[in-house]
Chains A and B, each alone.
Chain A
Amino acid sequence: EDKVVQSPLSLVVHEGDTVTLNCSYEVTNFRSLLWYKQEKKAPTFLFMLTSSGIEKKSGRLSSILDKKELSSILNITATQTGDSAIYLCAGPNDMRFGAGTRLTVKP
């Protein structure tokens, strides 16, 4: 069974801070890794990463994959209170998610 581990499990920052969330994986036949954001409802898709070293960006969010280290990071710059959520990563081979990082951004 593929394994996805996220860290930290919980993070509290203040508005304007930059945060880095980590996801490491042990996945057989790796093809790609997914990041999702979950507020009080359904998870929403953020990024799909397939190639090592290529950064994907969407506004203040960016993510990169390191296949050598079997890991990915999700960066959020200039955080806002609306970024407060659970951030989930998953290996899409079997769509198993890590436990998530609960981010709280205080005003």
Chain B
Amino acid sequence: NAGVMQNPRHLVRRRGQEARLRCSPMKGHSHVYWYRQLPEEGLKFMVYLQKENIIDESGMPKERFSAEFPKEGPSILRIQQVVRGDSAAYFCASSPYQGAEYGYTFGSGTRLTVV
């Protein structure tokens, strides 16, 4: 079991471009959470998804940001028309169900830099 896989590890985009961040949960996990972390700050919840459903997107900006978790394939966090303020580390976590006994497993994150 390879754990939670995020790619790319590092992503550089120019202002106005699109960024696509991928998260493959652990095998058997159908719940995915996305977080954003600015330097020297904590993890800010963005969105919670189950397969083919967005359960809670209250932490995600209403414009330019979207997330999906299709029946097949990884979960995708998409940021359109990136701006410098989007530069951050983006982490995803997965679990087999909500309230999993051993917590949630995090990926290593994608560090997005907008130049």
Contact = CB atoms under 8 A, between A and B. Distances in A.
Contact of A42 (B41, B48, B98, B108): B108
Contacts, number: 60
A42 B42 contact: no
A43 interface: yes
Of B4, B59, B104, chain A has the most CB atoms within 10 Å of the CB of B104
A43 B109 CA distance: 10
B101 A48 contact: yes
Interface residues of B, number: 27
Interface string A89-102: 00011111111101
A68 interface: no
A26 to B, nearest CB: 15
B103 A36 contact: yes
Interface string A1-42: 100001000000000000000000000000110101010011
B80 interface: no
Contact of B42 (A45, A92, A98): A98
B45 A94 contact: yes
B106 A42 contact: yes
B108 A95 contact: no
Interface of B: 4, 33, 35, 40-45, 48, 56, 58-59, 91, 93, 98-109
Interface of A: 1, 6, 31-32, 34, 36, 38, 41-45, 48, 86, 88, 92-100, 102
